[in-house]
Amino acid sequence: MKLTEMKCIDPQPTDPSLDRAQIQQYLKEIESWSLEDRALKKEFLFKSFLEAVAFVKNLAIIAEEQNHHPDIIISYKKVKLTLSTHKIGGLSLNDFIMAAKIDHLFFFKINQKENSSYNWRSQEDRQGHRHNSRQGWN
């Protein structure tokens, strides 16, 4: 089963973190994430601050659904993410599942934008938020 098809499970504090061999295997399944200090890290670049924030809003929906939340830093057009499982003090399968889902979100949205008039706000529109060009987002 692909990582994008899996669901995060709530780890117990006594669960072991992934060993080096498992980490190396899962790293092959995610795109350009680096391994630093027992965490996965990646930086995403966008054309504007609004696109970066919209990406984070969409990412937050996935994080809530999976009950696994990355550390997020937004710096103008950059979004820096860090994934680790604090409860076990290292990496778990959940971190790789989330990394794969985040990559899928990013690449799906980019492909949609290049192939249509889709914009990052479409996810918000589907959830009942509406845009008024004079007043901004409601």
| Secondary structure E strands in 1-137 | 34-36, 39-45, 71-75, 78-83, 131-132, 136-137
Whole-model pTM above 0.85?
no
CA dist., res. 40 & res. 42, Å (int): 7
**Dist. CA 75–CA 107, nearest whole Å:** 20
Among candidate residues 102, 106, 46, 53, the one with its CA nearest the CA of residue 77: 46
Query: pLDDT tens digits, residue range 39-92?
Result: 999 999 999 999 999 999 999 999 999 999 999 999 999 999 999 999 999 999
The answer to whether residues 93 and 99 touch, using CB atoms and an 8 Å cutoff, is no
Question: Hey, what domains does the chain have and what are their CATH numbers?
Answer: 19-110 (3.30.1360.20)
Task: Count the Cβ atoms, other than its own, within 10 Å of residue 63.
Answer: 19
For 10-43, how does the pLDDT look when each residue is reduced to its tens digit (9 = 90+)? 999 999 999 999 999 999 999 899 999 999 999 9
Alpha carbons 32 and 99: distance in angstroms, whole number: 10
